[in-house]
Every structure is written in C-alpha cells, then in structure tokens.
Structure 1
Amino acid sequence: MIKKVAIIGLGLIGGSLAKAIRRYTDLNIIGVDVKDDYIDEALREGIINEGFKKIDRPIDADVVFVCTPVGVVINCIEEMLPHLKDGCVITDVGSTKKTIMDAVKGILPKDKFFIGGHPMAGSEKCGFYSSNSELFFGSNYFIIPDEKTPDNVVEIFIDEIIKKIGANPILVDSYSHDKIVGIVSHVPHILSAALANFAYREDADAIKFAAGGFKDSTRISMSQTEMWKDIILNNKDVIKKLIIDYENLLNEFLFSLDCDDIKSLCEFFDSAREIRKSIAS
C-alpha cells in the first residue's frame, strides 16, 4: 500500500500531479523544487505536507515522481538514490523513454524499483502557477516498467495513483513509446515551430493577418525551448526517420500538384479530415 509520495519538480506536470494526488487520494506528499515560491505556495495551498529545495536528506516516500526536464532525469535519480528507503518505486514523467530506461538499468540497486511513465497531458504554459488537478483526467498515461520491477508493484502503482487521478494507463515498451510520441507529439511540435519560422521568413508582415488556423497550428511552438531541446535530442533517431517520411508525403503532394491530379489532391484532404474526425476530442 502506498502512503506517501515525493514529487521532484513542481512545474506544470509535477505541480499538477501534486494537486491531483491531493484532491483524489489520501496520500501524504513531499515536494522538492529549487524555487522557493513554488514550495511556499504549495505549502500555503495545502497541496504538499512538507517541502524543501535540495535532495540532501532522507526521503521517506513509497513512490518518487521525478518531474524534471528529460535531460537531468538520470542525474536526479543518481543524486537521490542514497536518500531513498528500501522498496521505493521511482518513476519519471519524461517525454522520451528508451534513453532513460537504458540508463536506469546501470544505476538502480536491487532494493529499488523503476517504472517509466509519461502522461500525455500538458500545455504550452509552464510552472506551478499553471498547474491544475484535472490535467490528467481522461488522458493516456504511458507506463513502461523496468524488467526487474515485479508485476504486483506496477499494479499497485497504477491502481493507487494513476487511475485515481483520472488517467488511462497504457503499458508499452520503450521503443514503441518513443515512436508513438515521435509521431503524435515530437514531430508535430517541430512542424509547428517550422510553420512559424517559415511564415516569418517568407513574409514577416503577413503574420499580422494570421487568423485561427495559423494560430491553432503554431500554438505549441510557444512551449519551453529548453525542455523541447532535451526531448528532441533524446529521441533524435526516431525523429529523423519520421521527418524523412513526412518529407516523402509532401513530395507526393507536390507531384500530385504538378500533375494537376485532382483525384489525389482530394484524397489527400479527405483522408486527413476522416482521420481527424476519428480522434476523440
């Protein structure tokens, strides 16, 4: 049974986890963040039971969520391992998994467990003040257990936390995860940024006339650069292949355009519309 959790990093995801766990469970929560105001506000709101800035003391938690940027997840885990109790479950919320899962295998002692995690929820906004308890409600939550983590430990983690915050747990391997998020998250983010840059380079003055379509398509390009730099670099092999596949699709479209192939052009837009309609809103 899980009685206490620790959350390292109280930004958008970590803060939302803390608020969701507070609202939908009876668990005690430890919050750790380098920003004093995040800790102070979380304590003031009653979101966490205790909080501190550094991992420099024993962390008496059954589950520890590492909600740091992807690029520092492993360093954070290494730093906190000596402070965790036997049987503790460590989990992360990073948007890439294979690099993290492979690194964890080399540092995790036998008396600790790791479950890779990734909630498919977020916002172009960031920080504790943008977090909310409903962020994960109805969202898919990827679960990628380390091979040494017992099934019953995974089941307890899912039943006592993930399901209670309203998320839909999806068990996958790290390779499948990274390809899926490359398709539906990482490449779309790159394309959103590319569209913004393309429009500016083609005609900067044209941007002032942008309406709903352009604004919707470029919204996610407003996300944090530092966070996305780490994500892209950690999944670069998958992303490079996907971009080549995307380029091939655009070349097919250009060929249809050059040939005035109305049938192919219509099929291109018709299929896209049907695919979009099939996605749950």
Structure 2
Amino acid sequence: MIKHVLIVGLGFMGGSLAKSIKKYTGIKITALDINEEYLNKALEEGIISKGIKQVDCNIDADVVFICTPVGKIIDCIYEIIPYLKKGCIITDIGSTKKLIMEKIEKILPDDMYFIGGHPMAGTEKSGFTASVSNLFKDTSYFIMPIKNVPNDIVKLFIDEIIIKIGAKPVIIDYNLHDRFTAIISHVPHIVSAALSNFACSEGPDAIQYAAGGFKDTTRIAMSQTEMWKDIVISNKETIKELLLKYSEILAEFISYLDKEDIKSIEKFFDDARMYRSSIE
C-alpha cells in the first residue's frame, strides 16, 4: 500500500500532481523544492504535509516523483537515492526517456524500483500557483518500468496513484515513447516556435492583428525554455529525422503552388482536416 509520496519539484507539473494526489487519494505528500514560496503556498493550502528545501535525512516515502526539467532528472535521482528506503518506487514525468532509462538501470540499487512516467498533459503555464488538481483527468499516462520491476509493483503504482488521479495508464517501450512524443509534442513545439519567430521577423507590425488561428497555433511557444532545451537535446536524433520529413511535406506543398495544382492542394487540406477531426 502506498501511504507517503515525495514530490521533487513543485512547479506547474509537480504542483498539479500534488494537488491531484491530495484531492483523489489519502496519500501523505512531502514536497522538495528550492522555492520557499511554492512550499509555503502548498502548506497553506493544505496540499502537502511537509516542505523541504534539501534532503539531509532519510525519507520514508513509498514513491518519489521527480518533476524537474529532463536535464536534471538523473543527477536528482543520484543525489536522493542514499536517503530512500528499500522497496521505494522512483518515477519521473520527463518528456523523453531513452537517456534516463539507460542511465538509471546502471545506478539504481537492486532493492529500489524505477518506473519511467510521462503524463500527456500540460500547458504553457509555469509555477505552483498555476497548477491544477484535474490536469491528468482522462489523459494518457505513459508507464515504462525498467527490467527489475515486478509486475505487482507496477500494478500497485498504477492502481493506487495513476488511475486514482484520473489518468489512463499506457505501458510502452521507452524507444517507442520517445518517437511518439517527438511526433505529437516535440516537433509541434518547434514548429510553433518557428512560426512565432517567422511572423516576428517577416511582419512584426502584423502581429498586433493576430486572431484565434495564429494564437492557437503558437500558444505552446510560450512554454519554458529551460524545459524545452533539455527535451530537444535529449531526443535530438529522432527530432532531427522528423523535422527533415516535415520539411519535405512543406517542399511538396510549394511544388503544388508552383504548378497551381488545385487538386493536390485540396487533398492536402482535406486530409489534414480528416486526420485532425479523428482526435476530437
């Protein structure tokens, strides 16, 4: 039974996770963050039972959620391992997994378990004050246990936390996960940022007239740079491959314009509308 969790990083995602666990379970929550304001706010709201700025003593947590930027996850786990009890489940919420999973398998003691995690939820917002308790409701939550994790441990983690916060668990190979997230998250973010930069460089005066279409398409470009620089570097090969394929689609569309190929242009938009409507 899971009675106590430690959440490392109480920003938007970590804060939302804390609020969800508080709302939908009876699990005790301790939070670790260098931001004292976040800790005090979470304590005032009754979200967490204890807030700490550093780990300097043993922590009796059954599960530890690492909610830091991807580039800090490995170091964070390495530093916290000596203070955790035997049988502890360590998990993360990082958007890429290959580098993390392969390194964790080398440093994790045999009496602890790592279950890679990635909730497919989030916004461009940041910080604990923006976090919400229903962020994970009806969203997919990727689960990637390393080889030594028994099935009953994975089931316990899923049944007592993931399902209770309203998420839909999906057990998946980490290589496939990184490709999926590159397709539906990483490349779209880069495209959104590229469109924002393009509009600014080509017509800065036009931006003031931007309406729903432009704002919707570029919304995610407002996400934190600290988080996204780590993501794109840790998944760079897959992202590069997909961006090249994306550029081929743009080049093909340009050829339709050059030829005034109305049928191909119509098919381009019709196909896109059909694919997009299928995920509503």
Q: Quick check: TM above 0.5?
A: yes
Partner of 2:196: 196
Partner of 1:40: 40
Q: Is 1:67 the equivalent of 2:56?
A: no
Partner of 1:140: 140
Q: Is 1:53 the equivalent of 2:68?
A: no
Task: Work out the CA distance in 2 between the residues paired with 1:208 and 1:130.
Answer: 26
Structure 1 residue 123: deviation in Å? 0.8
Task: Work out the CA distance in 1 between the residues paired with 2:56 and 2:232.
Answer: 31
Structure 1 residue 164: deviation in Å? 0.1
Q: Is 1:186 the equivalent of 2:186?
A: yes
Structure 1 residue 162: deviation in Å? 0.1
Partner of 2:104: 104
Q: How many residues align?
A: 280
Partner of 2:8: 8
Task: Work out the CA distance in 1 between the residues paired with 2:277 and 2:203.
Answer: 32
Task: Work out the CA distance in 1 between the residues paired with 2:139 and 2:55.
Answer: 30
Task: Work out the CA distance in 1 between the residues paired with 2:10 and 2:116.
Answer: 18
Task: Work out the CA distance in 2 between the residues paired with 1:167 and 1:279.
Answer: 17
The letter for the 2-side match of 1:150 is: P
Structure 1 residue 142: deviation in Å? 0.5
Structure 1 residue 212: deviation in Å? 1.0
**Structure 1 ranges of 4+ moved more than 4 A:** none
Partner of 2:76: 76
Structure 2 counterparts to residues 94-133 of structure 1, below 5 A: 94-133=94-133
Task: Work out the CA distance in 2 between the residues paired with 1:66 and 1:217.
Answer: 30
Task: Work out the CA distance in 2 between the residues paired with 1:55 and 1:135.
Answer: 28
Partner of 1:265: 265
For 1:160-208, what per-residue CA distance to the aligned partner results, in whole angstroms no more than 9, with x for missing partners? 0000000010111111100101011000000000001001111211111
- RMSD over aligned Cα atoms: 0.7
For 1:126-164, what per-residue CA distance to the aligned partner results, in whole angstroms no more than 9, with x for missing partners? 010000110000111000111111111001100000000
Q: Percent identity?
A: 58
Task: Work out the CA distance in 2 between the residues paired with 1:56 and 1:142.
Answer: 31
Partner of 1:217: 217
Gaps of 5+ in 2: none
